[in-house]
């Protein structure tokens, strides 16, 4: 009984420390022809969820830098190009790489890498080891962007 | 009802009279440096006309209230010897003009840089035996603002040569280093993207001549190091402590970037 309790406790402590240091393992992906063709998750991206995620302040909203067809948000940045019609300009694979790690598209880009954990200087302690988006969130946002077609 | 409102009205009147006295004394006989010098622009020029006139109007400027408190503190005796700032420096309006424009400076005693906040605390310790005021406390902001205000209109003029030079280089490196999860340097916003909209803000040159500033969106006064911490946190970088050697070096570099711009404290920003 005591042994069992100890085991459970040890497992709980392990789980807790894993959560605390947040070392989320990134899904492997392959860059080919300027894009990432294969989805990061088995579950297909959900564009409605994607539209919610891109507005979320807690996930470094794209609106900081981009104009987007989201009229209910008052302030859209103008650091990057407008994302209206971006689904006609770029393929799903290109969109995926752009989100995962924009620096592999343009090393001088000021756009954050949404799915990268290494190579930062003095990153805030609570962000260490955690990408801005989870793999599923990448897929959801890619699915949303792909629908932004030229009218 | 009358008995309640009348003292309040009288208090307000006294308050306004005090503000008028402060305002009048500073405006007299000082030449105003321009808001733009050789392409270097004060944050003032990035504000709407409404925010500018809020800053310009002594009676509306929300930073003026802390100035009043700063003047009280200047004259208030503290410590075992019953001394105040005024015991040594007399009238701040006579002894303090120009000081804020020169800071931060290299201090041989500290063998490093000190800024206005740290100089205030060092003076309190050495000459008044009074405890240090906490960084970003109302009291330290008030004294810093009151002293800075005595230099209003004077051009920023910090020394970056001699013993200050290595600190200047350190600050420059800080400024140019990409940091945090967003992987951005100060200059990528405040040099390369000036005038562009970042969400609802227009990016300025990130100059220090207005500090301490009243930030309308926070309804609060803030120091130079507090805005450094905010900009660091915004790119998801671990901020340094206010008053840290890192921020002092950065302060010297950023002040130099704005050389020639007028001290505006207390400036009003969005």
pLDDT tens, chain B, 270 aa long:
334 444 444 445 445 444 544 444 444 445 789 999 999 999 999 999 999 999 999 999 999 999 999 999 999 999 999 999 999 999 999 999 999 999 999 999 999 999 999 999 999 999 999 999 999 999 999 999 999 999 999 999 999 999 999 999 999 999 999 999 999 999 999 999 999 999 999 999 999 999 999 999 999 999 999 999 999 999 999 999 999 999 999 999 999 999 999 999 999 999
> Which residues of chain A make contact with B199, given a CB cutoff of 8 A?
61, 63-64, 75-77
* pLDDT beneath 50, residues of chain A: 1-22
How far is CA B50 from its chain centroid? Answer: 21
Measured CA to CA in angstroms, residue A95 lies from A100, A102, B45 at distances of 9, 10, 38
- Among the partner-chain residues B183, B188, B198, the one whose CB lies closest to the CB of A64 is B198
CATH of A2-146, one of 1.10.760.10, 1.10.357.10, 2.60.40.10, 3.40.190.10: 1.10.760.10
Q: State residue B30's pLDDT score.
A: 57
- Tell me which of B173, B179, B180, B182 to substitute to probe the interface with A (most A C-beta atoms closer than 10 Å): B182
Answer whether B121's CB lies under 8 Å from B107's CB.
Answer: no
Answer whether B33's CB lies under 8 Å from B154's CB.
Answer: yes
For residues A82 and B126, give the distance between their C-alpha atoms in angstroms, rounded to a whole number.
58
> Which residues of chain B make contact with A63, given a CB cutoff of 8 A?
199
- Among the partner-chain residues B181, B184, B188, the one whose CB lies closest to the CB of A127 is B181
Residue among B80, B67, B51 nearest B15 (CA): B67
> Which residues of chain B make contact with A75, given a CB cutoff of 8 A?
197, 199-200
- Among the partner-chain residues B180, B196, B200, the one whose CB lies closest to the CB of A79 is B196
Q: What is the pTM of this model?
A: 0.89
How far is CA A35 from its chain centroid? Answer: 15
B219–chain A Cβ distance below 8 A for any pair: no
Q: What end-to-end distance do the CA atoms of chain B give, in Å?
A: 38
Which stretches of B100-142 are assigned E, i.e. beta strand? Answer: 105-107, 112-114
Instruction: Determine whether the interchain pair A79/B198 forms a contact, defined as Cβ–Cβ distance below 8 Å.
Output: yes
- Peptide bond before residue B21 is cis, with ω within 30 degrees of 0: no
- Measure B124 CA to nearest chain A CA, in Å: 34
For residues A141 and A95, give the distance between their C-alpha atoms in angstroms, rounded to a whole number.
9
Instruction: Determine whether the interchain pair B197/A76 forms a contact, defined as Cβ–Cβ distance below 8 Å.
Output: yes
B187–chain A Cβ distance below 8 A for any pair: no
Instruction: Determine whether the interchain pair A63/B181 forms a contact, defined as Cβ–Cβ distance below 8 Å.
Output: no
For residues B159 and B42, give the distance between their C-alpha atoms in angstroms, rounded to a whole number.
20
For residues B226 and B160, give the distance between their C-alpha atoms in angstroms, rounded to a whole number.
23
Q: Does the annotation count B186 as an active-site position?
A: no
> Which residues of chain B make contact with A60, given a CB cutoff of 8 A?
181-182, 236
* The two structure tokens encoding residue B87: 């015991």
For residues B124 and B121, give the distance between their C-alpha atoms in angstroms, rounded to a whole number.
5
> Which residues of chain A make contact with B177, given a CB cutoff of 8 A?
121
For residues B29 and B36, give the distance between their C-alpha atoms in angstroms, rounded to a whole number.
21
Instruction: Determine whether the interchain pair A123/B236 forms a contact, defined as Cβ–Cβ distance below 8 Å.
Output: yes
């Amino acid at each position: 009984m005591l042994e069992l309790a100890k085991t459970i406790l040890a497992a709980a402590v392990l789980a807790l420390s894993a959560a605390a240091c947040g070392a989320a393992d990134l899904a492997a992906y392959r860059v080919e022809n300027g894009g990432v063709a294969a989805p990061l998750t088995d579950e297909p991206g959900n564009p409605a969820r994607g539209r919610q995620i891109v507005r979320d302040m807690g996930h470094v909203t794209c609106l900081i830098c981009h104009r987007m067809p989201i009229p209910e948000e008052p302030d859209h940045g103008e650091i990057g190009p407008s994302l209206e019609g971006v689904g006609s300009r770029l393929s799903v694979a290109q969109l995926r790489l752009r989100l995962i790690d924009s620096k592999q598209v343009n090393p001088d880009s000021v756009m954050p890498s949404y799915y990268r954990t290494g190579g930062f200087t003095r990153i805030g302690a609570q962000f260490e080891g955690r990408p801005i988006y989870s793999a599923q969130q990448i897929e959801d946002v890619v699915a949303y962007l792909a629908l932004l077609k030229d009218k | 009802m009358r008995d309640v409102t009348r003292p309040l009205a009288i208090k307000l009147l006294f308050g306004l009279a005090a503000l008028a006295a402060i305002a009048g004394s500073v405006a007299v006989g000082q030449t105003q440096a321009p808001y733009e010098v050789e392409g270097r622009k004060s944050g003032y020029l990035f504000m709407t006309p409404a925010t500018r006139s809020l800053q310009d109007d002594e009676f509306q400027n929300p930073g003026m209230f802390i100035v009043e408190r700063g003047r009280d503190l200047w004259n208030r005796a503290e410590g075992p010897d019953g001394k105040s700032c005024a015991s040594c420096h007399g009238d701040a309006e006579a002894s303090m003009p120009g000081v804020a424009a020169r800071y931060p400076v290299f201090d041989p005693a500290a063998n490093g840089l000190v800024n206005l906040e740290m100089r205030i605390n060092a003076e309190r310790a050495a000459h008044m035996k009074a405890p240090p005021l906490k960084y970003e406390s109302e009291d330290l902001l008030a004294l810093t603002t009151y002293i800075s205000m005595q230099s209003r209109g004077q051009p920023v003029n910090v020394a970056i040569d001699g013993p200050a030079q290595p600190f200047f280089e350190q600050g420059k490196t800080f400024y140019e280093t990409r940091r945090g999860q967003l992987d951005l340097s100060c200059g990528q916003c405040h040099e390369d993207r000036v005038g562009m909209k970042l969400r609802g803000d227009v990016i300025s040159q990130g100059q220090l001549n207005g500090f301490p500033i009243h930030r309308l969106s926070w309804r609060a006064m803030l120091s130079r190091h507090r805005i450094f911490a905010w900009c660091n946190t915004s790119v998801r970088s671990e901020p340094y402590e206010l008053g840290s050697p890192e921020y002092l070096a950065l302060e010297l570099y950023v002040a130099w970037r704005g050389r020639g711009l007028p001290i505006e404290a207390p400036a009003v920003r969005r």
